[in-house]
Structure 1
């Protein structure tokens, strides 16, 4: 997520307030959240209070010493002594009250409650809708973005367009230069293609976000349930943040608002068009979900929008860590390290089968082994290696079934083999399985199957593949 804090004209924050690396390579503390925690008596109540305002905190301008082995936090928080009764908010009840509210109503409530202590996290994608909703409330608002240093040029230009369109200044947060230097020098510029994107995201996104949120009591995100059904299907419109800490420090000190959680992607785009909101030019090139340039690409017909992110990894890996608390625990426990859910195939969860039609032959382990051994087949085969729980497999179900129907009577057999669970290691070893779905073509006079190389899974592309090899 490219995120940055921005405020309306009445709450503009100068970019000079943010941390910069000096010529001596010492990193100055960022003023966002740079407060020293004062002694606070421990009361008997465990209720979470959000009534304290930032004016109670005394900023600390002292620059922390760098420890060569540990990168210091940019901010430390402490609460002053507070007297009197504190207002306690039941955010579970508030979430229930706002469950069916419009995004505009949810945004208005968030800004009303937290004022200058809340900010919109803006990635440079369709979450520009959040800024439009905030603008429509007529209230002052702040926006922040994480500049990872690896964003597309189009995204940087879009940031500038948004600032001018709304008359705001986005508050940019940057990764720690020493951490980035260590990562790149030690592992290269593109290590994430080999060992996963989590480490790079942790350095360039998660830690800068953590520093930013330390100066807030609440933040607003563009998460939607339909963005990633496997990990975001239960996002509430408002919640106590389960991962990050806010201004007061400790669990429960930060509130997370998700005004568009219940809105579908097509409705977001209808809203943007109706309100003539500027959008990132990458969208016109097929990008839907937009992140860093090396890790984002356009999606193709039949693909879910999240397949454009970290495409070399499987389902579970399609998160960078910014919204870790919203990943369903049951999904995480049922997915192995590659995002392939062995637990489903082992009977721990019931999942309906897919590609279930008379036109598609269901191959057993013995059937696929026999097919792979044949050097002279009576007819060629196209077979999909799939997992019934995989949303990317589900996304191509319609096109694959249509393919099977079109190939009936042509002499080409269409099959499927469920390759998760106990069959996964066999499929990886013998059938070139890399991720789900994997599509193989077994020629008529060859024992070696040919792997479909494209991510384009519409029926016309699949037929072109078959016709080129049959």
Structure 2
């Protein structure tokens, strides 16, 4: 996720009038959409920062410093749990207006360049000045950078980018290579390229606005509040409780977000039309197939429990759920759920069975084996296509099998069977014991059949 800071009423660091701001925006009345709230009475004051004033406040590491309507200083007794309950049924527009009214220039929208365009549109409709910030990791898709440019021109704003520390990135790449995350997980790279820049950005704010939704990951984000005291990051004053986090679209369905974007005719990332739903860094993002969850396109080589980068760690409900919401996971990694791929056409291999398969160099028939965990939502999603594959290969001389690789068998599967994430699919040719790992995330029957036919 890229994140960014800006003001809708600032061009090249100078504050424009509210009337000229509204003239720059697209006309929405013809579309039957609510007009921006009338803020004509709000006094807007430009501030000239002298050396003395800069010395009195911590420097904010942003591209520009902006002025918004004056707001009263936050009361120490603010009850955000109570406020979150009061706003549970409120519209995103009302929540956005409340957030901007309360914090003025000390709040900013975290913009990732995907559906977060909706946040900018809601902010524009309030008629209030707003700031936007984005994390440029240096590994984003070209289409994402193109969207940033289009968004700046559409809203007449300057996104304020935060970049990772060059020394840290240099050390990581020199020591471990450009793609170390494929081998040892994405957390270290995300920590350097995303989490630490975000931490620096938030130190210049009292509140931030995100595009988190409960339906993005039902197993881990199902309890996202509308507003909360951020337990993970510090704000301008420093210390626990110094930063407030707003999630205006927490209760909004993803389809409703897209209906809103289409209705408002705003710029969106062109990758969406190519099957990308959740968009992050280029090496870590792929398109998803119809019916797959949007997070399956992120860090696809890892277990579903790892599909968070750390920006919203405090909102992860239960990491032991592995992000699938399909039942409790036991201490040994197995889960109390029914088995899958349960058909007479699929051979269920035990540990000795798969070990024998590894030893055979002159087997009579080729085998295709899926390494799976029955609680894994991605394994569940491919059950139909794998069963159909077994039916098609029933009289072809190719054996179709499964091996449960979670729990006590996971270490063995990782060491001996190339298990990186569930599901992993292996093909065992007839004349060699070395299995060939299926490299694609496409798990439809035609793709699997093409893989088998190319190697049989």
Q: 1:425 deviation in Å? A: 2.2
CA shift at 1:92, angstroms?
1.6
Residues 1:104 and 2:93 are matched in the alignment: yes
In structure 1, stretches of 5+ residues that fail to align are: 16-54, 65-71, 76-83, 336-340
Please report how far the alpha carbon of residue 462 of structure 1 lies from its aligned counterpart in structure 2 after TM superposition: 1.1
Q: What TM-score do you get using the length of structure 2 for normalisation?
A: 0.77
* Equivalence for 1:280: 269
TM-superposed deviation, 1:170 = 1.4
Contact 1:363–1:417 (Cα < 8 Å) also in 2: yes
Alpha-carbon separation, structure 2, partners of 1:61 and 1:462: 64
Task: Report the 3-state secondary structure (helix = DSSP H, G, I; strand = E; otherwise coil) of the residue aligned with 1:282.
Answer: helix
Asked whether the 8 Å contact 1:303–1:457 carries over to 2, the reply is: no
- 1:400-429, Cα deviation, whole Å (9 max, x unpaired): 233334445555443322101111122233
Of residues 235, 246, 250, the one that matches 1:246 is 235
| Residue aligned with 1:169, SS | coil
Residue aligned with 1:144, SS: strand
Aligned residue pairs, count? 408
User: Which residue of structure 2 lines up, in the alignment, with residue 142 of structure 1?
Assistant: 131
- Asked if 2 retains the 8 angstrom alpha-carbon contact of 1:342 and 1:421, the reply is no
* Residue aligning to 2:256: 267
1:69 matched residue in structure 2: none
Which of 243, 251, 258 is matched with 2:247 structurally? 258
Q: Distance in 1 between matches of 2:132 and 2:61?
A: 19
The answer to whether the 8 Å contact 2:333/2:406 transfers is no
Mapped pair 1:216 → 2:201: no
Aligned equivalents of 1:370, 1:445: Cα separation in 2:
14
1:221 is displaced (CA, Å) by 0.8
Give runs of aligned pairs for residues 16-415 of structure 1, distance below 5 A. 59-61=53-55, 86=75, 88-300=77-289, 303-331=292-320, 344=330, 346=332, 350-373=336-359, 380-408=366-394, 410=396, 412-415=398-401
Instruction: Classify the secondary structure of the residue corresponding to 2:267.
Output: coil
Q: Report what 2:8 is aligned to.
A: 8
Do the aligned partners of 1:381 and 1:413 also contact (CA within 8 Å) in 2?
yes
Quickly say closer, same or farther: Cα 1:324–1:73, change in 2 above 3 A: farther
Instruction: Quote the offset at 1:227 in angstroms.
Output: 2.7
In 1: Cα distance, 2:349 partner to 2:195 partner? 44
Task: Quote the Cα distance in structure 1 between the aligned partners of 2:319 and 2:276.
Answer: 30
What is the CA–CA distance in structure 1 between the aligned matches of 2:163 and 2:431, rounded to whole Å?
57
What corresponds to 2:419 in structure 1?
A: 433
Q: Distance in 2 between matches of 1:63 and 1:254?
A: 17
Matched, 1:458 2:444: yes
Contact 1:440 1:451 in 2 (8 A): yes
After TM superposition, give the deviation of residue 217 of structure 1 in Å: 1.8
- Unaligned runs of 5+ residues in structure 2 are 15-46, 63-72
Q: Name the structure 2 match of 1:420.
A: 406
TM-score, normalised on structure 1?
0.75
Secondary structure of the corresponding residue to residue 368 of structure 2: strand
C-alpha distance after superposition, 1:70-120 (max 9, x if no partner): xx9969xxxxxxxx9945222222222333433333323322332222211
SS in 2 for 1:4: coil
Q: CA 1:227–1:446 in 2, change beyond 3 Å: closer, same or farther?
A: same
> How far apart, in 1, do the equivalents of 2:271 and 2:340 lie?
33
SS class of match (2:305): helix
Aligned equivalents of 2:6 and 2:333: distance in 1? 49
Q: CA RMSD in A?
A: 3.6
- Aligned-pair CA distance for 1:377: 5.8
3-state SS, counterpart of residue 400 of structure 1: helix
Separation in 1, partners of 2:331, 2:453:
33
Q: Is the 8 A contact 1:225 1:234 kept in 2?
A: yes
Instruction: Please give the alpha-carbon distance, in whole angstroms, between the structure 1 residues aligned to 2:113 and 2:3.
Output: 8
Q: 1:351–1:138: structure 2 CA closer, same or farther, 3 Å change rule? A: farther
Summarize the Cα distance change of 1:414–1:262 in structure 2 as closer, same or farther, 3 Å threshold. farther
Task: Report the CA distance between 1:219 and its aligned residue.
Answer: 0.8
Secondary structure of 2:5's match?
strand
Shift of 1:363: 3.0
- Tell me the distance in 1 between the aligned counterparts of 2:255 and 2:57: 47
